[in-house]
Amino acid sequence: MRKNGALGQLLIPLIALGILILFNVIYGLLGPKHDLSFFNIELATNSSGGKVLSGNLITIIDNASMLAIIAMGMTLVTAACGGQDISVGAVGAIAGAFFVKVANAGDSITTGSFILGVLVCILGTIAFMMFNGTLVSVFKIQPMIATLILFSCGRSIAYWINGSAAPQLKSPIIDAIGTTIPGVPIPTSIFIVILMVVVLLLIFRFTNLRLYTQSVGINQGASRLNGINPTVIKLLSFVLLGVCVAVAAVIGVSRMHQLNHKTLLNEIEMDAILAVAIGGNNLGGGKFRLAGSILGAYIIQMLSTTLYSMGVQPDGVKFYKAIVIIILVVVGSPVIKSRITTLVNRIRSGKAMAAAGRGVE
């Protein structure tokens, strides 16, 4: 039953991914190029002379890394609180400011200063996320309203922390995090996503956090009667989201080799929420599946890359992406799912009755 439930939850994102792949196959064969170059993966040489993998598929997996990481944290907040944090982009700018302020404090970025910068970045981001979590769990403010505060002023706080300075971050460590590790052709961000998945899975494996999070999201009153503290669980979900935001911010800063508080993780909150929805997770809280949210992040990035490869301008990409996402969300809505389930049950009942009739004959 659990496997069937998991497959049912992932059915919509898997179908969406299949449609995107099929569309690119058809467009590649019938379009102006008449080939399947969209799926080509090649070994190219980067600016440092190293060998790296390149191609649209590598670009999709690489560029979706920050979104996938934040979508994991957003999934936990959604499951526990029945709402979403719309401040993750702005808090990401704050996280980037913490990281740059500490890591770049000396004459150069060393291994020690980099690690210290990451730790301060994570702790500082957790503190701001705890502010959001306190408003939601203690003062019972709806998550989207509570997080509107940092959504509005977060990038100004980042500017206050780091000022208008945008120093170039030149360091082999920054290069390795933002692009690839020397001698390894695969983008480093892919390994970071895998690491974050492993960490969360270990937490779920050796603690009851998954069960408690889903229990609180489904029914807080019943959870409290069973000895679960909803306030603590909600705060923990914001803490884990803070870690995810901090990691994504470090990747973003490393890619740009500087801090731009205006563009770092800009508008990523909407894509993170959409990734959670496309992944088949209930935006009202309760049961969740990280695999669905991660898959949703890659679907969003694949859609964007597909549109860019067709020559669609950046302003137009948002329009087409909105149309496709509306379709996916509507198809994955409880109403449509219920009707599909009813239809499938009727078909199965009809087949069972037909089989029984043949058996009688």
> pLDDT at residue 360 above 60?
no
Q: Are 77 and 249 in contact (CB under 8 A)?
A: no
In this prediction, residues 321-340 reach a mean pLDDT of 76
Distance CA 308, CA 33 (A): 15
Q: How many CB atoms lie within 10 A of CB 271?
A: 26
Whole-angstrom CA distances from 142 to 90, 134, 138, 145 are 19, 11, 11, 5
Q: What's the token pair of residue 220?
A: 């807080």
Q: Are 81 and 234 in contact (CB under 8 A)?
A: yes
> pLDDT at residue 165 above 90?
no
pLDDT at residue 177 in the model: 96
In this prediction, residues 238-262 reach a mean pLDDT of 95
Q: Please, what is the average pLDDT of the chain?
A: 90
In this prediction, residues 153-160 reach a mean pLDDT of 94
> pLDDT at residue 291 above 60?
yes
- pTM of the full predicted structure? 0.91
pLDDT at residue 330 in the model: 78
In this prediction, residues 104-108 reach a mean pLDDT of 82
pLDDT at residue 358 in the model: 64
pLDDT at residue 233 in the model: 97
Tokens 């599909």 correspond to 340
Query: What percent of the chain is modeled with pLDDT above 70?
Result: 93
Distance CA 178, CA 131 (A): 29
Closest CA to 88 of 324, 294, 252, 285: 252
In this prediction, residues 154-161 reach a mean pLDDT of 93
Beta strand pairing call for 42-45 and 51-54: antiparallel
**Coil/strand/helix, residue 40:** coil
Least confident range of 93-107, 127-141, 240-254: 93-107
pLDDT at residue 355 in the model: 67
pLDDT band at 263 (very low <50, low <70, confident <90, very high): very high
pLDDT at residue 122 in the model: 98
> pLDDT at residue 167 above 80?
no
Tokens 């970025």 correspond to 109
SS3 of 273-307: the string is: HHHHHHCCCCCCCCCCCHHHHHHHHHHHHHHHHHH
Distance CA 58, CA 51 (A): 14
> pLDDT at residue 237 above 80?
yes
pLDDT at residue 1 in the model: 42
Q: Fill in the amino acid letter for 297.
A: A
Q: Fill in the amino acid letter for 322.
A: A
Least confident range of 70-79, 118-127, 185-194, 331-340: 331-340
In this prediction, residues 149-178 reach a mean pLDDT of 89
How many helices and strands, by DSSP H and E, does the chain display? 16, 2
The residue ranking higher by pLDDT, 52 or 333, is 52
Q: Give 40-93 pLDDT, tens digit per residue.
A: 999 988 877 788 999 999 999 999 999 999 999 999 999 999 999 999 999 999
> pLDDT at residue 5 above 70?
no
pLDDT at residue 163 in the model: 77
16 half-sphere exposure, CB direction, 13 A CA radius = 30
